[in-house]
């Protein structure tokens, strides 16, 4: 069933759109000291066999490379129809903040965090959200939305007896929905740079599209209150080079060139579950302790507009990487 309201506002819950369908949001929170990095991933997964349908909350402790997948009945999931707000068995997630109340043998997590001063990916009616007009195209394998590039945190969480004060910290939100995750992707996110406040979001994936496929990407950089977009929609070009466990990316549009170089340690990667063929399976290699070197410069004259190193970077790989390395 088509939901034009959610097409226009992709932050919202879209609702089941097929026999196998998932929808999930990704909240990344970093405290003011940059010592604590957590991700919270609420969502719902529908399978053709109802026995496998369920809602979930994934919790990722980036500092200690720990991971919990808490599963709940599918009926525990609910969402507001007119605003971005979802609830899973007493745990609430929205653009205003999150409330945790998980008391299970494997993990106990409770507390409340408020979000302030959200910085949004610029959009308009014809190009809603970060995916733009692709939100209006039906039956894509996976859709993506950057809900908030950056925001301030206020509040505290207690996770397995450890109190984490996030006040003064920073956060980021995105979401995905569709029938399955892409068969190959790279994701880089950072809003903790050394010299000045900036925020980077980068997704690149192999995307099946009707009878063909293409390498699609959404890359945005906010710096000094200006937004720089490098996307499939604005006909940017990307070069991706694999360097052991990391990548070097050079992205160019008509006016600017953006270079990204990741640096990670293998022991900091955590295997998360992701949607594949109607089930949530181990699929996602994620690191919340990465660094990323970023350089933005003008094509004409080569003036460097931004050059910095980001820490507490989220760096994620999934699927067969050669599928996106070989694409043009």
Give dist(CA 224, CA 208) in Å, integer.
Answer: 36
Q: Return d(Cα 44, Cα 145) in angstroms, integer.
A: 16
Please give the pLDDT value at position 209: 67
Distance of CA 221 to the CA centre of its chain: 14
**Smallest Cα–Cα separation from 273: which of 75, 94, 68, 109?**
68
Q: How confident is the model at residue 175 (pLDDT cuts 50, 70, 90)?
A: very high
| pLDDT 10s digits, 9-48 | 899 999 998 899 999 999 999 999 999 999 999 999 999 9
Residue 253, phi then psi, degrees to nearest 5: -115, -165
Cβ neighbours of residue 233 closer than 8 Å, sequence gap 6 or more? 127, 132, 133, 134
Mean pLDDT of the chain: 92
What is the spatial distance between Cα 310 and Cα 223, in angstroms, rounded to a whole number?
13
Return the domain boundaries, the chain: 4-325
Q: What is the pTM of this model?
A: 0.95
Res 328 pLDDT > 50: no
183: Cβ contacts below 8 Å, ≥ 6 apart: 206, 208, 319, 320, 323
- Give the pLDDT score at 321: 59
């Amino acid at each position: 069933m088509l939901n034009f309201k959610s097409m226009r506002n992709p932050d919202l819950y879209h609702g089941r759109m097929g026999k196998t369908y998932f929808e999930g949001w990704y909240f990344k929170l970093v405290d003011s000291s940059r010592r604590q990095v957590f991700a919270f991933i609420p969502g719902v997964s529908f399978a053709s066999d109802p026995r496998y349908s369920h809602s979930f909350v994934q919790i990722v402790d980036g500092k200690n490379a720990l991971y919990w997948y808490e599963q709940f009945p599918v009926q525990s999931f609910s969402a507001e129809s007119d605003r971005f707000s979802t609830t899973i068995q007493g745990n609430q997630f929205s653009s205003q903040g999150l409330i945790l109340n998980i008391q299970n043998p494997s993990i106990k997590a409770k507390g409340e965090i408020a979000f302030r001063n959200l910085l949004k990916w610029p959009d308009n009616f014809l190009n809603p959200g970060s995916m733009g007009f692709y939100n209006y195209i039906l039956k894509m394998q996976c859709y993506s939305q950057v809900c908030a590039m950056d925001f301030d945190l206020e509040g505290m969480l207690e996770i397995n007896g450890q109190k984490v004060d996030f006040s003064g910290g920073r956060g980021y939100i995105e979401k995905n929905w569709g029938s399955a995750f892409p068969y190959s992707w790279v994701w880089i996110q950072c809003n903790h740079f050394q010299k000045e406040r900036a925020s980077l979001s980068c997704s690149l994936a192999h995307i099946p599209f009707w009878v063909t496929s293409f390498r699609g990407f959404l890359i945005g950089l906010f710096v000094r209150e200006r937004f720089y977009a490098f996307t499939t929609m604005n006909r940017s070009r990307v070069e991706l080079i694999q360097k052991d466990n990391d990548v070097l990316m050079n992205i160019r549009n008509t006016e600017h060139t953006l270079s990204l170089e990741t640096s990670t340690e293998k022991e900091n990667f955590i295997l998360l579950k992701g949607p594949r063929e109607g089930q949530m399976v181990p699929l996602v290699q994620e690191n919340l302790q990465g660094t990323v070197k970023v350089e933005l410069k003008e094509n004409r004259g080569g003036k460097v507009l931004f050059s910095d190193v980001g820490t507490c970077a989220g760096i994620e790989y999934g699927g067969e990487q050669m599928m996106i390395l070989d694409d043009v």
